[in-house]
Structures are given as structure tokens and as C-alpha cells.
């Protein structure tokens, strides 16, 4: 059977076609103006899911990189402080050897001078032990106080550790506990220095024992410094990883979410052409009627 075509069905069909054309155009235009392929979950349920995961991952990696940067600052501050402390320790050792030697350097007067210089160095080392990073003493654990050691060299901090999360499940300690670095009890470096100064003035015979104690204390500091260095390297590499990962995620997100500009523009041009063709065809088909030919 031949389908009977009426004016109304012609124009209804034409309108339907034009509407569909315009719908496609408007979708493409929306994509072009927003730059996004996915503007609501139903555009691509899987894409939406991936995009949300990627975004959340990106935020996490960003945060890891920030944590790592903060951790690195802690470790670097500790590293340079320990370096300076160690240098001071070596200076004390030199002075001790000088004081223990026979001759002019080992005279009572000279030893009194040396003792006073060692006292000075001790004060400086206590000052170094109280070094702060963003208002927190770096050797004080999680203490709230302004200093890790008082002026007499007594520990004021606690045994809490400062850690930074630098990757999923990886928490790295970024401080160095004062008691681990500077020792405790009789082996505490400030106590050793106080003894050295005292013995220098009053009991030089004990100085050789003191020298051993000082060497032990300096070894502890060096060990701590090595550990800090190793951790700093680790933080460095993790920070790099987090940054790389962030970039990678960003690329993936772009691939999923963002439009392919040349493709979208080409699509739009094609759709525009199709729309114009449809308009032209509609105008041509709907216009003529039998009335044009009846006289």
C-alpha cells in the first residue's frame, strides 16, 4: 500500500528532523563551550565514576606531595642543625686535646680559658638543640613548649614522634627525638660537655675518659644525621612520585572528561551543514502544492 502523505505529516516529519538536528547541535555546542565531554552522570556513567575517582586520587596525591614538602623541610632543618652541632662537638674535641696535652696549651691558665670556651660552645649547642621549625622545637617530639632543652641542658620535650603521610599507607617520621640524638643520663651530650668543662678546671685526669664519652656522643649525632639524610632522600623520591602520579592522573582525567577539540569542531561543522541541508530540503518540499499548477 502506498502511504498517503499529507501536508501535516510532511511538516511534522520535517519538524522532527529539524528538532533532532538542533538537539545534536546544542549538545555539541554545550560540549564546546564547557570544554567537557561529561556534564552529567548519564552522559557516561563509567566515565563519571572514573572521573570522580581520578579527582579524589588527584587531591590525595596533591596532599601527599604537600605532606612530603613539609616533611622535607623538617628533615632538612634537622640535618643542618645536626651538622652544626657536630661541628661544635669537633671543636670541643680539638680544645680537649689541646687541654690534655703537655706544655703551654695544658697549663692551668690555658685550661681555665678552654673550659670557658667549652661552656660557650655548650650554650651554643643547647641553642641549636632548641632550633624551631614553624614555631615547634624540632627535637622536642610533640611538646607544646617553646624549647626542647632548658638552659641547663635538661630535656623538656616528650617521646612523641612527628610523622607525615607521604604515600598511601606510608607514614614517615620527620623529626628526631632529642633523647635519641643527644643521649640520656650521663651520656647526654650537654652533661658530657658540662663534665668536660668541670674536669678541665678541676680534674684533668678524668679528661681521657671524657674524650671517649664525647666520641660516643658525637657518633650518636652522626648516626642520627645519617638516618635523617636517608629519610630526606626517601621523602624526596616520594614527593617526586606523588607529583608524577598527579600529572599522570591529570592526563587521564583530561582524556576522560575533556573534549577532543578538533574532533568536536569538525562534528559541529558537519552538524551545521546537515542542519542547513535539512532546512533547505524542508523549504523546497513543503512549498509546492497542486494549487501552484491549477488555473
Subset of 32-51 contacting another protein (CB under 8 A): 38, 40-45, 48-49, 51
Q: Whose Cβ is closer to another protein: residue 4's or residue 102's?
A: 4
By CB under 8 A, residue 160 contacts another protein:
yes
Q: Whose Cβ is closer to another protein: residue 50's or residue 264's?
A: 50
Number of residues that bind another protein (CB under 8 A): 51
Q: Whose Cβ is closer to another protein: residue 62's or residue 179's?
A: 62
Least distance to another protein, CB of residue 263, Å: 20
Q: Whose Cβ is closer to another protein: residue 36's or residue 91's?
A: 36
Q: Fill in the per-residue mask, 11 to 30: x = in contact with another protein (CB under 8 A), - = not in contact.
A: -xx--x--------------
Subset of 88-147 contacting another protein (CB under 8 A): 134-136, 141-144
Pair 62, 253: CB distance under 8 Å: no
Of 60-68, 96-104, 120-128, 203-211, the segment contacting another protein by CB under 8 A is 60-68
Least distance to another protein, CB of residue 176, Å: 16
Least distance to another protein, CB of residue 246, Å: 13
By CB under 8 A, residue 171 contacts another protein:
yes
Amino acid at each position: 500500500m502506498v502511504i498517503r502523505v499529507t501536508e501535516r505529516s510532511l511538516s511534522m516529519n520535517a519538524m522532527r528532523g529539524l528538532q533532532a538536528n538542533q538537539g545534536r547541535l546544542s549538545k555539541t555546542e554545550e560540549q564546546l563551550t564547557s570544554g567537557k565531554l561529561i556534564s552529567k552522570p548519564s552522559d557516561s556513567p563509567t566515565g563519571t565514576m572514573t572521573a570522580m575517582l581520578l579527582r579524589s586520587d588527584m587531591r590525595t596525591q596533591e596532599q601527599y606531595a604537600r605532606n612530603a614538602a613539609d616533611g622535607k623541610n623538617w628533615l632538612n632543618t634537622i640535618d643542618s642543625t645536626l651538622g652544626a652541632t657536630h661541628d661544635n662537638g669537633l671543636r670541643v674535641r680539638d680544645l680537649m686535646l689541646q687541654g690534655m696535652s703537655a706544655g703551654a696549651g695544658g697549663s692551668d691558665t690555658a685550661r681555665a680559658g678552654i673550659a670557658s670556651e667549652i661552656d660557650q660552645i655548650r650554650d651554643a649547642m643547647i641553642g641549636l638543640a632548641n632550633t624551631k621549625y614553624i614555631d615547634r622545637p624540632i627535637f622536642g617530639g610533640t611538646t607544646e613548649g617553646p624549647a626542647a632543652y632548658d638552659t641547663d641542658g635538661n630535656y623538656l620535650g616528650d617521646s612523641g614522634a612527628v610523622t607525615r603521610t607521604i604515600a598511601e599507607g606510608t607514614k614517615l617520621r620527620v623529626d628526631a627525638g632529642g633523647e635519641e640524638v643527644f643521649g640520656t643520663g650521663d651520656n647526654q651530650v650537654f652533661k658530657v660537655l658540662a663534665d668536660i668543662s668541670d674536669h678541665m678546671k678541676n680534674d684533668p685526669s678524668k679528661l681521657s675518659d671524657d674524650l671517649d664519652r664525647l666520641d660516643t656522643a658525637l657518633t650518636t649525632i652522626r648516626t642520627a644525621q645519617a638516618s635523617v639524610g636517608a629519610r630526606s632522600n626517601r621523602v624526596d623520591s616520594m614527593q617526586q612520585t606523588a607529583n608524577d602520579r598527579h600529572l599522570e592522573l591529570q592526563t587521564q582525567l583530561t582524556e576522560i572528561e575533556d573534549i577532543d577539540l578538533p574532533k568536536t569542531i569538525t562534528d559541529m561543522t558537519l552538524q551545521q551543514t546537515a542542519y542547513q541541508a535539512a532546512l533547505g530540503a524542508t523549504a523546497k518540499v513543503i512549498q509546492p502544492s497542486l494549487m501552484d499548477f491549477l488555473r
